[in-house]
Structures are given as structure tokens and as C-alpha cells.
Amino acid sequence: MASEHRHEVPLVTAEEARTRLEEFRVLIDDVDRRLVALLNERTRVVEEIGRVKRQAQFPIYEPKREDQVFANITQANHGPLTPDAVRRIFERIIDEMRTIQKLRIIESNSDGDQ
């Protein structure tokens, strides 16, 4: 029996597959828009944090706080993303947020120079 080659019928037709894929892509587009909204919300909070840091002359980079963020997101993650995947994503997010804080410091210094 193992040597027999059976031609299996596809579970869905090509047209059904295209329709289902389009439906999933609509869902992904919606999720992506919500992610962008959440990232912008996070950025607004980071900008406020940056203002406080500037006023207090605290450093932008706080490794202990980043460790807390990683612990928080790892605990909140229940998959299917792996802990390493979530950490890599947040490393990138944090890096962009740090860049934004640096840009705001440069902007505020140039505003003060005028």
C-alpha cells in the first residue's frame, strides 16, 4: 500500500483559497492599523517621559527599566510568539522610542538657542 500513489483531492479549490486568503488579509490589515495606533499611543507616552527626563537631566537609556519592560512583555506573552520573538520585536520598538527621545532633546535644544 505504501508504494501506491494516490492523487488526493485538494481540500479547497484555488478560488476558495484566494477568497479565504483575501478575508485573512483584510483581518491582518485591521490588526496592523490597530498596532500602529497602539505604537503611536506608546510614542506619545514616551515623549512625555522624555520631557520629564530632560527637565530632570536624566539619561535616556535606562537598562534596568528596559529589563522591566522585557520581563513584563514576556510574562504577558502566551503565544504563539516565542519569548525570544517578542523580545526582539520590543528591542526594536524600544530602540525607535529612544531615537524619538533623542530627537526631541535635539529639537528642544534648538528651540532654546533661538
Q: Which three cell numbers stand for residue 109?
A: 535644544
C-alpha span between 113 and 83 (Å, rounded): 45
Domain boundaries, the chain: 14-113
- The reported pLDDT for the residue numbered 6 is 66
- The reported pLDDT for the residue numbered 4 is 57
Mean pLDDT, the chain, whole residue set:
90
C-alpha span between 54 and 85 (Å, rounded): 32
* pLDDT (tens digit per residue) in 62-98: 999 999 999 999 999 999 999 999 999 999 999 999 9
Entry pTM: 0.80
* pLDDT (tens digit per residue) in 92-107: 999 999 999 888 888 8
- The reported pLDDT for the residue numbered 101 is 87
Task: Please tell me the CATH code under which domain 14-113 is placed.
Answer: 1.20.59.10
* pLDDT (tens digit per residue) in 14-25: 999 999 999 999
* pLDDT (tens digit per residue) in 30-50: 999 999 999 999 999 999 998
